[in-house]
């Protein structure tokens, strides 16, 4: 099945609570995860909630990485959505597992934008080129 995107939704359990509550550490980890996956970083935004928790996203030319943390439970919900065949979302998730000290990870993978459902001949479908960044 040919698709426009590949999305992995991951639940990280038994993580280090102090790591998950630090917006700078979470930001740095998400940016490094994007780099390790081979993504082209466009922008990022992260927010620290009071009393604890971080939510944020890294927008990449190939789509996005997003996170929501619950330090009080040692839990983080992570979403890695990539377009094309060059990016390695598994590399991002493996790095985040280490960075957050996750004891257990559960993932669900989805193919997004199934070409045969669009009624467009597969040979005509193109993923977004990095040059679109300047548009």
CA-based angle 62:93:122, to the nearest 5? 40
Whether 124 is in a domain gets the answer no
Tell me the CA distances in angstroms from 59 to 50, 105, 117, 124, 133, one per residue in order. 24, 23, 26, 26, 11
Span 120-133, average pLDDT: 61
Whether 119 is in a domain gets the answer no
Residues 51, 31: Cα–Cα separation, whole Å = 24
Whether 23 is in a domain gets the answer yes
Catalytic-labelled residue, pool 68, 106, 131, 134: 68
Catalytic residue status for 68: yes
Domain with 40 in it: what CATH number?
3.60.90.10
The answer to whether residues 101 and 19 touch, using CB atoms and an 8 Å cutoff, is: yes
Whether 49 is in a domain gets the answer yes
Catalytic-labelled residue, pool 63, 64, 106, 134: 63
Whether 118 is in a domain gets the answer no
Whether 7 is in a domain gets the answer yes
Whether 26 is in a domain gets the answer yes
Catalytic residue status for 15: no
Domain that holds residue 91: 3-112
Q: What is the DSSP string of 57-90?
A: EEEETTEEEEEEEEGGGTEEEEEEEEESSS--HH
* pTM of the complete model: 0.87
Q: How many domains does the chain have?
A: 1
Catalytic residue status for 48: no
What pLDDT shows up at residue 122? 67
Look at 62 and 135; give whichever has higher pLDDT: 62
Query: Could you report the per-residue pLDDT of 65-89, keeping only the tens digit for each?
Result: 999 999 999 999 999 999 877 888 9
Q: For 33, which DSSP code?
A: H
Whether 131 is in a domain gets the answer no
């Amino acid at each position: 099945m040919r698709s426009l995107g590949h999305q992995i939704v991951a639940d990280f359990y038994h993580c280090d609570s102090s790591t998950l509550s630090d917006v700078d550490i979470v930001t740095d980890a998400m940016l490094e995860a994007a780099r390790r996956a081979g993504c082209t970083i466009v922008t990022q935004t992260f927010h620290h909630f009071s009393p604890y928790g971080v939510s944020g996203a890294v927008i990449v030319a190939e789509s996005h990485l997003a996170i929501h943390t619950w330090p009080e439970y040692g839990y983080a919900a992570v979403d890695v959505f990539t377009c094309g065949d060059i990016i390695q979302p598994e590399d991002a998730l493996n790095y985040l597992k280490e960075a957050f000290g996750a004891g257990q990870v559960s993932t669900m993978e989805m193919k997004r934008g199934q070409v045969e459902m669009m009624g467009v001949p597969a040979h005509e479908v193109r993923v977004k080129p990095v040059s679109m960044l300047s548009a």
